[in-house]
Amino acid sequence: MSSHDGAPAGGQWSRSMMAVMVAQFFSAFGDNALLFATLALMKTLHYPDWSQPILQMLFVGAYIVLALFVGHFADGFPKGRVMMVANGVKLVGTLLVCFGGDPFVGYCLVGVGAAAYSPAKYGILGELTTGDQLVRANGLMEGSTIAAILIGSVAGGVLADWHVAGALAICALTYGLAMLANLFIPRLTAARTRPHHRPLEMMRAFYDHCRLLGRDGQTRFAIIGTSLFWGAGVTLRFLQVLWVPVALGITDNTTPTTLNAMVAVGIVFGAAAAARFIRLETVRRCMPAGIVLGGAVVIFSVQHHLLPAYGLLAVIGMLGGFFIVPLNALLQHRGQQSVGAGNAIAVQNFAENIAMLLMLGLYTLVVSLQVAAAIGVGFGLLFALAIAVLWWLSRGEARDGQR
């Protein structure tokens, strides 16, 4: 491995980018397989249904708490090394669950690793690519991630039906492989100097980053859009787990994971279309896809047949990929010019995970009241309305900026 001066290293198909993609694949594979393997473990231990979203809430909570620090961490060290350390934390959390530890504690620890990993994995794209290659690099990142979701989700369910402990062990192995791939990422120069690591100073800096990004109309637009998307997305994932036994009478672990995989298949095509048809200057073209996505979630929520559900989830995935990829690229581009890509993504993660935590809390309440179908319809309508309002407001800001 050679050192690197921080300039882009050969574009989206460089060896450095391929190392990032491989590391991301194994890390995301582990994340998705581990969720379904841990849910299967909780089922065998007879945890109540309403406790399942609590597991994800702990994961999300780690993102929120650590958002104040992980951007500083990602931009203060070579991002490839940050990714390796973060995958190591995920490995420790998985081994804890694998060897009989509390699943909530272990999965929360995996969330700590994921919180540290996210700003580095996206922030490094702006250091390895330039200009419009950044949108295409995001498409590659989403493609690698979605392939991992597709394979990892299905593998998690299938392996859990075979042997829960075996599924957990394979998750640990994939995090080890991700760490190995991280070694092949060149040691890039840290994006920013590190004059201190005092918590109060970092919290003050994080507040300043939030304020700066909030003042920028484009970054504010991107953060709100992605937060709405992931808030609805995490709810849809758990809705699938609950919908299968209620609507179909199927209680295995494989069917919910294959449904989740259909979303992943759709996102691959949506991300590819976004990379092909949307540039940084035309990001707002993605917004109609978000509105239609909300309507598709409503239709899915009232389905009682498996075959149309597969088709609807593929469509939801395509719309989601087309919606989310340009917004991520816009935030990385603008963030790198102001507070640093890692810090911008840390702020994004903070906002997204607050939205997810609120949605999961509401979902837990609705499940406890046994009206889960209503939450899918409600969230679909709310998402479509929110995206429509965001689109309208962003168009008004764009017109004002041209005057």
Following DSSP, what letter does each residue of 362-403 receive, concatenated?
Answer: HHHHHHHTT-HHHHHHHHHHHHHHHHHHHHHHHHHHHHHHH-
Residue from 89, 100, 105 nearest 27 by CA? 89
pLDDT of residue 11: 56
Please give the structure tokens belonging to residue 92: 């420790």
Confidence at 7, pLDDT banded by 50, 70, 90: very low
Max CA separation in the chain (angstroms): 63
pLDDT of residue 192: 63
- What's 38's DSSP letter? H
What does the alpha-carbon distance between residue 78 and residue 83 come to, in Å, rounded to a whole number? 9
All structural domains of the chain with their residue ranges: 15-402
Please tell me the least confidently modeled range out of 100-104, 235-239, 319-323: 235-239
Q: Where are the alpha helices (DSSP H) in 45-102?
A: 52-76, 79-98
Please, what is the average pLDDT of the chain?
81
First to last CA, the chain: 50
pLDDT > 90? residue 363: no
- What's 190's DSSP letter? P
Give 15-402's CATH code, choosing from 1.10.150.120, 1.20.1250.20, 3.40.640.10, 3.30.1330.40. Answer: 1.20.1250.20
Please tell me the least confidently modeled range out of 79-93, 121-135, 321-335: 121-135
Q: In this predicted model, what pLDDT tens digit does every residue of 43-53 receive, in sequence order?
A: 888 887 777 78
Please give the structure tokens belonging to residue 82: 């940050």
> What is the phi/psi pair of residue 3, to 5°?
-75, 165
| 3-class state of residue 3 by DSSP | strand
Please give the structure tokens belonging to residue 231: 């808030």
Q: In this predicted model, what pLDDT tens digit does every residue of 102-156 receive, in sequence order?
A: 999 999 999 999 988 888 887 787 777 766 677 777 777 777 777 787 788 788 8
Neighbours of 279 (CB within 10 A): 13
